[in-house]
Structure 1
Amino acid sequence: MTGRISRRRMCLKRCSSEIFLIRGKKMMVEMTKNDYLLWLSSFFETGPTSISKIIGRYRTFDELTKVSYEELAGFIPAKMAAVIKGDKPDDAAVKVEKYKEKLEKGGYSYITILDDEYPDRLKYIPDPPQILFYKGDISLLKRERMIAIVGARQATDYGREAAAYFSSELSQAGFCVVSGLAFGIDTAAHKGAIKAGGRTIGVMGSGINDIYPKGNTALYKEMYESQLVISENGLDIPSFAFNFPVRNRIISGLSCGVIIVEAREKSGSLITADQALEQGRSVFAVPGRINDPMSVGTNRLIHSGAVIAAKAEDIIEEILGVSYTSDSLVKKMNGEREKKDRERTECLENLSGAERLVMGKISNDPSFVDDILEETKLGFSELISILIRLEQYGLVRETERGYYILKK
């Protein structure tokens, strides 16, 4: 019927926006603030910084639709202003609904700074993210104790061991470990928390569905299932290099403190340390050798006043107070460590003669299997079997193919 009015209601977040179809013409009535943020995030060209600027000036979608391109281009990039003004207001709610459907199809969701699930600690940092996309257990964002562990991508064995140690110990002390899902220190931190039965949050620099680096796909999938992965970048946003320094403020912002494990002189981890200080967070640095390029950044942080991270109790004492380090939780941590030491001692006492011989040829510096063969005069098959058993006992570990060191 020609003059008939039909109404279509679209189920949107919090409350519905309504689109009335009158004689074939669309008229937008209202868009919620959450949908407004999601709409801004749906543009490939709009980044988190510009979204914050837009929201700061134009609190509602209706306000934004009334400004000219020239006014908008006066404080955000012209290309960004062009795509925003090029999107017809009448079609915005439809676009938001399709975007939600795509998120849901991939198992992703989102919260905004207006939602109850948004973490209070993050809300009060300079330039907080207006929207967070996520996959996993969103309740982790409300954990009271969080600690960030970050550092070099091209980490040394020492750095990875340190990251895993702090992550494991602090997880057992009730901290949720926050890191950036990169190779090296980040990966060791996430895996250390998971192995210890703790909780961990990965903060991406790319879009929520753009896994980076691809080599960490298995880790992402595990964290999607049982932990939490978040990003302030929406669907299909590539891993632009400039997104990662911006992302770092979220890592530090979520946390009570930041531990830097290995950093070159101009490492991105030092940006995280600066942001942590700006946010009023504690900064810890793991000391390294004075002639190691991977330790220049961390040693300099210590020289500038960062707390030396030599053991997990240092972190707990600084964040939770001196009295806390003597409570039952830390006693439990010490008990676990003593138990491991006893098991290691018993294992060493029960080694066979051949196993003792091989153990005597392995130190804290990597030993190559050919050198061990030559020194022990064992057969190749026998040596490999012994090395496998020693790994299973937790006494040695293979650092790379054919090289072994003592496991601490």
Structure 2
Amino acid sequence: MDETTLRAWLVLNRAPGVGTRTFTRLLDHFGTPDAILAAPLAVLAGLGLGRTTLDYFSHPDADGVASDLRWLAAAPEHGLLTCRDAAYPARLAQIADPPPLLFLRGDPSLLERDPMLAVVGSRTPSASGEELATQMAAELASAGCTIVSGLAAGIDGAAHRGALSVGGASIGVLGTGPDRIYPARHRRLARQMVECGLLVSEFPPGTRPLPHHFPRRNRIISGLCQGVLVVEAAQRSGSLITAEFAVEQGREVFAVPGSPRNARARGTNDLLRQGALLAENVADVLHGLGLVVQPECDGVHGSEPTVPADLPAAARQLLAVLDSEPVTPDLLVTRCGLTAEAVSSMLLLLELQGLVKTAPGAGVYRAL
């Protein structure tokens, strides 16, 4: 792409009042960004563009476009993909409002690697939910899936880390410009993504993390993928927006069931009631995508640690009442009828054996 055409794409991308659908409509009408910018203002007004947009076309944001160009030239892993490029993802192009531009950081070839699966969920998951997301993403990546998520706190970050931990492919879709990472604590993870995966954003460099950007980017997460796996989500979780987009786009939706006592699982349980596919393990997801299921993927959330034959009876008693939901030692005393001292001692033994784990501030739960 020559610089004149590149500038035209960037000018249009920053135009106020030109959203994705208007951008696409203008492209369909005029053919190229250069032709749009060269069109008489009266013709553009006749197509429904407002005064603010027309004024912008007369005086484009030269500083903003110059900033975009500097960012693109700053590093070899920085790139730009337009909706007219041959490498633009075919599935994404088919959604109702595909982004006209994608700013890229990392390996753009990952956009061509199938199958792609989104793994999303709560920003504040339970310890067991976060562990499960990491494990399932790792197993799915090992089975050849490219894991897509939003680099958000909680399940998103766990999914990216799980995929990267096994040398798998992962794509992060940002709700900011490609030069900004939100939350800030994921900057290290973002660097790993740039080195071993890919970050994608429809927003130009410098764009701050505004609240309405995140629901909007969710359509890209689902649009890139053949399916969406929701690991843990409350009833008003943003990840349910991704599931809604997935349904609209004709993608498969998978949900991990959760305890009715876990508020963070009410959203996923609702999805199952609405017809989402049950995902008790990786094999369920692979089967739902029509992929070959390897024998090692058949276990429910992987294999639980082996219980030693010489484990004391009191420890076995505790283990029998524990599951993936954290409970406090005080509640275990009530459930088991053991003394507080015995519960504390047996929990320490079980943790040393790798049979239970501690959730900071929330109690203990059975290891997956």
The answer on whether the counterparts of 1:145 and 1:176 sit within 8 Å (CA) in structure 2 is: yes
Name the CA shift for 1:78/1:238 in 2 (closer, same or farther; >3 Å).
farther
Q: Give the Å deviation of 1:201.
A: 0.7
Residue in structure 1 matched with residue 231 of structure 2 by the alignment: 261
CA distance in 2, matches of 1:80, 1:357: 72
Match of 2:210 in 1: 240
Kindly indicate whether residue 37 of structure 2 is the aligned counterpart of residue 64 of structure 1: yes
Alignment of 1:138-287 (within 5 A): 138-287=108-257
Q: Given that residues 16 and 56 in structure 2 are in contact (C-alpha distance below 8 angstroms), is that contact kept between their aligned partners in structure 1?
A: no
Alpha-carbon distance in structure 2 between the residues aligned to 1:132 and 1:275? 19
Q: Counterpart in 2 of 1:105?
A: 74
CA 1:150–1:80: 2 relative to 1, 3 Å: farther
Aligned to 2:295: 331
Q: CA deviation at 1:223?
A: 0.9
TM-score, L = length of structure 2: 0.82
In the alignment, residue 57 of structure 2 is paired with which amino acid?
I
Q: Does the aligned pair in 2 maintain the 1:368–1:402 contact within 8 Å? A: no
Q: 2:57 aligns with which of 69, 80, 84?
A: 84
Partner of 2:357: 397
Q: For the Cα contact (< 8 Å) 1:172–1:333, is it kept in 2?
A: no
User: In the superposition, relative to structure 1, how do residues 308 and 140 fare at CA in structure 2: closer, same or farther (>3 Å)?
Assistant: same
CA offset at residue 402 of structure 1?
A: 8.8
Instruction: Supply the distance in 1 between the matched residues of 2:278 and 2:14 (Cα, whole angstroms).
Output: 43
Q: Which moved more, 1:158-167 or 1:128-137?
A: 158-167
8 Å CA contact 1:44, 1:237 repeated in 2: no
Q: How big is the shift at 1:45?
A: 7.8
C-alpha displacement of 1:281: 0.8
1:267: how far off? 2.7
Structure 2 Cα separation of the partners of residues 401 and 266 of structure 1: 24
**Letter matched to residue 73 of structure 2:** E
* Structure-1 residue corresponding to 2:367: 407
Task: Supply the AA of the counterpart residue of 1:242.
Answer: H
Shift of 1:56: 3.8
CA distances 1:157-185 after superposition (whole Å, capped 9, x unpaired) = 34323322321221121111111111111
CA, structure 1 residues 49+210, in 2 after alignment: closer, same or farther (shift >3 Å)? farther
The offset of 1:81, in angstroms, is 4.0
The one-letter amino acid of 2:185's match is G
Residue 76 of structure 1 deviates from its aligned partner by 5.0
CA distance in 1, matches of 2:70, 2:129: 42
Q: Secondary structure at the match of 1:147?
A: strand
CA pair 277-113 structure 1, distance change in 2 beyond 3 A: same
Does the 8 Å contact 1:69/1:85 carry over to 2? no
Mapped partners of 2:41, 2:364: distance in 1: 66
Q: For residue 254 of structure 1, report the CA deviation from its aligned partner.
A: 0.9
SS of match in other structure, 1:267: coil
2:341 alignment partner AA: E
Pairing partner for 1:120 from 71, 90, 96: 90
**Partner of 1:39 in structure 2?**
11
**Higher radius of gyration, 1 or 2:** 1
**1:275 Cα offset (Å):** 1.4
> What secondary structure does 2:289 align onto?
helix
Partner Cα separation in structure 1 for residue 46 and residue 149 of structure 2: 35
Q: CA separation in 2, counterparts of 1:266 and 1:84? A: 40
Secondary structure, counterpart of 1:155 in structure 2 = coil
Q: Equivalents in 2 of 1:228, 1:196: separation in Å?
A: 16
Amino acid at match of 2:82: T
Q: Matched residue of 2:204: which SS?
A: coil
Greater RCO (CA < 8 Å, at least 6 residues apart): 2
The question of whether the paired residues in 1 share the 8 Å contact of 2:281 and 2:297 is answered with: no
Give the alignment's TM-score, normalised by structure 1: 0.74
Give the whole-Å Cα distance in 2 for the aligned partners of 1:264 and 1:402: 18
Unaligned 5+ runs, structure 1: 1-13, 18-30
Per-residue deviation, 1:320? 1.2
Q: CA deviation at 1:77?
A: 5.8
CA 1:394–1:43 in 2, change beyond 3 Å: closer, same or farther? farther
Q: Which residue of 2 aligns with 1:26?
A: none
The answer to whether the 8 A contact 2:125-2:264 is kept is: yes
Maintained 8 Å contact 1:367/1:405: no
RMSD: 3.6
Looking at structure 2, the residues matched to 73 and 234 of structure 1 have their Cα atoms a distance apart, in angstroms, of 28
Q: 1:177 to 1:68 in 2, by over 3 A?
A: same
Structure 1 vs Structure 2: percent identity of aligned residues? 34
Residues 270, 72 of structure 1: alpha-carbon distance in 2 compared, 3 angstrom cutoff: farther
State the SS of the aligned residue for 1:245: helix
CA distance in 2, matches of 1:142, 1:277: 22
1:127-163: CA deviation from partner (whole Å, max 9, x where unpaired): 2111111111111100120111112212223432332
2:247–2:253 contact (8 Å) kept in structure 1:
yes
- Give the structure 1 partner of residue 336 of structure 2: none
Aligned to 1:9: none
Contact 1:164 1:188 in 2 (8 A): yes
Instruction: Check the 8 A contact 1:169/1:312 in 2, yes or no.
Output: yes
Question: Counterpart of 2:256 in structure 1: which amino acid?
Answer: V
What SS is found at the alignment partner of 1:405? strand
Distance 1:286 1:77, change over 3 A: farther
